[in-house]
Amino acid sequence: MRLLAAGTEPVIEVAARTDVGLKRAVNEDAVLAADPCFLVADGMGGHEAGDRASRAAIAAFGEAFTRPGHATLEEIDRALEAARAAVQEVSDGTRRGAGCTLTGVIRTVHEDEPYWYVLNVGDSRVYLHRGSELVQLTQDHSLREELRGSGEVGADATPRNVITRALGSEDDRHDAWLLPLENGSRLLICSDGLTTEVEDEDLRAVLTVGGRPTSVAEELLRRAHAGGGRDNITIVVLDVVSGGAAPRDNGEAGVEDTLEQTRPGRR
């Protein structure tokens, strides 16, 4: 699907897939891939709780942004608060509680230049692919990553699915920063049903040679199934075709430098 906005708005090509996987009976993931929001939510709390939580979070953004066009930071903040409230309402109506991750990008403008507002709470991920480089933009909010960050021996043996932040939980803070919207860049937004089955190097290979977003999304889903398909799988592949900033030359700062230069802080 190609999104073509009027005037000087960026041209974005996007494909989205969500799949129950091979082992689960219910898909607790939810996805929104409509300009300006490209978001993935992964529900927690079991049947009829996790799926409701993820749908509630995504619905808050769908209701806040009903037409193409960049979002303001104030609009994004209001949508985030609405998502938090909606998920908390779902959680309050259950005995065990419920929650969800929320990860993705929202198109915005800062000082008259196009940017992505990157947001993350939980362990779904956003990757930036440019040229042949792949960088994970988001940091997993998981016990494993916290132990790694503190240098704990044996951190890698900690189960990856122990989440330390989520909407509907005691800690529902999100990370947020601005990233330049650059022509020729590709973003991958996904739930952990993809990244637990497909290694980063394989992600990079498919994103590099896989063709247009629809073909890439299909191939990534195929590989997740081949890896076991043990969880729900949600994938958004997004290309900036035109209307963004000029791509950097090879001699300029790399992807990591770009990310750090534009990261204003974490919330």
Q: What is the DSSP letter of 263?
A: -
Beginning with the edge strand found earlier in the chain, give each strand of the sheet holding 133-136 in spatial order: 2-4, 11-19, 233-242, 186-190, 125-130, 133-136
Beta-carbon contacts of residue 88 (< 8 Å; ≥ 6 apart): 167, 168
pLDDT of the residue at 153: 55
Least confident range of 85-89, 247-251, 260-264: 260-264
Least confident range of 96-105, 141-150, 195-204: 141-150
Long-range contacts, 72-81 (Cβ 8 Å, 24+): 72/108, 73/108, 73/117, 76/106, 76/108, 76/117, 76/119, 80/119, 80/174
Q: What is the DSSP letter of 254?
A: -
Tokens of 123: 């362990």
Assign a CATH topology to domain 2-262: Phosphatase 2c; domain 1 (3.60.40)
Rounded to the nearest 5 degrees, what angle is found at the Cα of 202, between the Cα atoms of 196 and 208? Answer: 135
Query: What does the pLDDT look like over 213-226, one tens digit per residue?
Result: 999 999 999 999 99
Amino acid identity for residue 19 in this structure: D
pLDDT of the residue at 19: 98
Is the preceding peptide bond at 36 cis, omega within 30 degrees of 0?
A: yes
Q: What is the DSSP letter of 97?
A: -
| Portion of the chain with pLDDT greater than 70, in percent | 82
- How far is it, in rounded angstroms, from Cα 221 to Cα 195? 11
pLDDT of the residue at 264: 41
pTM exceeding 0.85: yes
Tokens of 110: 């800062």
pLDDT exceeds 80 at position 251: no
pLDDT exceeds 60 at position 227: yes
Return the closest-CA partner of residue 232 out of 172, 201, 190: 190
Q: What is the mean pLDDT of residues 93-102?
A: 92
